[in-house]
């Protein structure tokens, strides 16, 4: 019989022995965790597919705004901030996995149960549901808005009013034909193939940004109706800045932090990893974050070196302006939109799991429950189609859990690191919330 990945039948407050923890830290799972993670009759998901799944969870629409962030922080300032956030993301996963070893549970919801009892479990599950529903809805909103425009660029003539240029119609077709079948899959590992496709779409995007750097000369000129209009006269506008600070720089850290948010997918991927261990999962995380960092950095750098201070908050808008009807640019737009579409099923999985653990944790797996919750979530995200919500404290949640659950002395490096994550999460969350409200008021 297959052992479900979730809480082991122990009382809250129970921990594995010190010897078992040492074995786990060394990369060898304790017998109890071995029963939990080495599912009988299941070979698990390969290292490569696990990396692709995690990268798909990491990379999203944020990649389009990082060149704008570099323009307002400078190349060195951006590089330093992006590296710090990437390291914090990796470290937060490290202490998250450490908590799994100490408590012998492999879900966020049950970590909340161990730390703060049933209210903790419900708050964590609710947070995951709200965050992931908002993220999925925001991606679908982008697809609804941008896909008709991307398709129309391939067409010559007036096709306004056609069904294939109607955003809502396209959104329903995509959700029924692609998103729903993928979200219906019972295990996150099955998404490895679509995640690998999404990864190659992102690589294609970065390669196009690099190549097109030499197709748009500086000072910038826009080509419309075979006439050239100079956008920038000053050669100083074509000099990169190593450090730059302005009021827009305040958005840098929140934007970067959101670009590495993948924590709700970490434990589901860990559950299905082939030969699972803390060390192996940490290697999956480090590889995914490193590759994401590389793609982020190259896209931002060459996007910035193409448009400099004139770069738009959404990078592809600039290419549409200065290279209208460029087939490669139009193709990469479609690739990015499909990459976002393929991210939705991956984000859907933790949200569905949270709902299942809230309402059906004491029941065996049922395809009826699974299908109904999947259908309900898909209907909700299509109807909402709103912007990313204000759940921005993932780093802080991880730090808080570790401080509560860890047996180490408070002055230990891990607890100090967890405390830093907690403060970082609170500051970034409140700071970004304040700026979001300020931006709404100005609009």
Q: Domain of 347: which CATH number? A: 1.20.1740.10
Over residues 150-162, mean pLDDT: 78
Q: For residue 147, tell me if it sits in a domain.
A: yes
Query: Rounded to a whole number, what is the distance in angstroms from the first to the last CA of the chain?
Result: 57
Q: For residue 143, tell me if it sits in a domain.
A: yes
The DSSP symbol for 179 reads: I
By percentage, how much of the chain surpasses pLDDT 70?
Answer: 70
How many independent structural domains does the chain possess?
A: 1
Residue 227's H or E segment, with its range, is strand 227-230
Q: For residue 4, tell me if it sits in a domain.
A: no
What are the helix and strand counts (H, E) for the chain? 17, 2
More confident residue, 27 or 333: 333
Torsion angle, alpha carbons of 317, 321, 325, 330, to 10: -10
Q: DSSP letter string over 325-368?
A: T-HHHHHHHHHHHHHHHHHHHHHHHHHHHHHHHHHSTTS---HH
Q: For residue 53, tell me if it sits in a domain.
A: yes
Site of tokens 């097109």? 212
Residues in the chain: 443
Burial 164-181 (b: 16+ CB within 10 A, else e): ebbbeebbeebbeebbbe
Q: For residue 16, tell me if it sits in a domain.
A: no
pLDDT of residue 268: 87
Q: For residue 113, tell me if it sits in a domain.
A: no
pLDDT of residue 52: 93
Over residues 418-443, mean pLDDT: 59
CA count, 13 A, side-chain hemisphere, 240: 16
Composition of the chain by helix, strand, coil, percent to 5: 70, 0, 25
Q: For residue 372, tell me if it sits in a domain.
A: yes
Over residues 278-287, mean pLDDT: 92
pLDDT of residue 420: 65
By percentage, how much of the chain surpasses pLDDT 90?
Answer: 19
- Number of neighbouring beta carbons within 10 Å of residue 340: 24
The residues near 178 (Cβ < 8 Å, ≥ 6 apart) are: 341, 342
Least confident of 28-37, 119-128, 333-342, 372-381: 28-37
Whole-angstrom distance, CA of residue 329 vs CA of residue 351:
34
Q: For residue 118, tell me if it sits in a domain.
A: no
pTM of the model: 0.77
Q: What is the pLDDT of residues 387-399, one digit of tens each?
A: 443 333 444 444 4
pLDDT confidence of 140, banded at 50, 70, 90? confident
Q: What is the pLDDT of residues 339-370, one digit of tens each?
A: 989 999 998 998 898 888 888 877 888 888 89
Whole-angstrom distance, CA of residue 260 vs CA of residue 431:
17
Domain around 366: 45-103+123-386
> Cα–Cα distances in Å, from 307 out to 27, 208, 237, 392?
47, 15, 9, 30
Least confident of 258-267, 336-345, 421-430: 421-430
pLDDT of residue 292: 93
Residue 39 clears pLDDT 70, i.e. is over it:
no
């Amino acid at each position: 019989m297959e052992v479900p990945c979730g809480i082991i039948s122990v009382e809250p407050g129970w921990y594995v022995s010190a010897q078992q923890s040492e074995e786990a830290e060394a990369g060898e799972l304790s017998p109890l965790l071995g029963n939990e993670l080495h599912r009988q009759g299941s070979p698990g998901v390969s290292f490569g597919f696990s990396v692709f799944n995690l990268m798909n969870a990491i990379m999203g629409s944020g990649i389009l705004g990082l060149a704008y962030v570099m323009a307002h922080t400078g190349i060195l300032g951006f590089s330093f901030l992006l590296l710090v956030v990437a390291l914090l993301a990796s470290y937060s996963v490290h202490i998250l996995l450490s908590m799994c070893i100490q408590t012998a549970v492999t879900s966020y919801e049950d970590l909340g149960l161990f730390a703060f009892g049933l209210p903790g479990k419900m708050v964590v599950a609710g947070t995951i549901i709200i965050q992931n529903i908002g993220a999925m809805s925001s991606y679908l909103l982008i697809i609804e808005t941008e896909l008709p425009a991307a398709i129309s660029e391939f067409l010559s003539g007036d096709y306004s009013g056609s069904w294939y240029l109607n955003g809502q119609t396209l959104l329903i077709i995509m959700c029924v034909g692609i998103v729903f079948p993928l979200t219906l899959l019972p295990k996150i590992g099955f998404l490895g193939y679509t995640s690998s496709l999404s990864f190659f779409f992102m690589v294609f995007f970065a390669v196009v940004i690099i190549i097109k750097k030499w197709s748009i000369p500086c000072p910038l000129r826009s080509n419309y109706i075979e006439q050239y209009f100079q956008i920038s006269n000053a050669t100083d506008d074509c000099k990169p800045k190593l450090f730059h600070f302005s009021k827009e720089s305040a958005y840098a850290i929140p934007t970067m932090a959101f670009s590495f948010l993948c924590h709700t997918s970490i434990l589901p991927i860990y559950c299905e990893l082939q030969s699972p261990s803390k060390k192996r999962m940490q290697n999956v995380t480090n590889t995914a974050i490193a590759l994401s960092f590389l793609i982020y950095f190259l896209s931002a750098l060459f996007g910035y070196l193409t448009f400099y201070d004139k770069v738009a908050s959404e990078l592809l808008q600039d290419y549409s302006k200065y290279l209208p009807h460029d087939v490669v640019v139009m193709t990469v737009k479609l690739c990015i939109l499909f990459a976002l579409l393929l991210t939705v099923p991956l984000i859907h999985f933790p949200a569905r799991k949270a709902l299942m653990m809230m309402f059906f944790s004491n029941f065996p797996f049922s395809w009826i429950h699974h299908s109904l919750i999947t259908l309900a979530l898909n209907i909700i995200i299509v109807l909402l189609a709103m912007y990313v919500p204000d759940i921005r404290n993932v780093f802080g949640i991880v730090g808080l859990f570790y401080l509560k659950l860890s047996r180490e002395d408070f002055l230990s490096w891990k607890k100090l690191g967890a405390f830093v994550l907690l403060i970082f999460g609170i500051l970034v969350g409140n700071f970004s919330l304040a700026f979001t409200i300020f931006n709404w008021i100005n609009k």
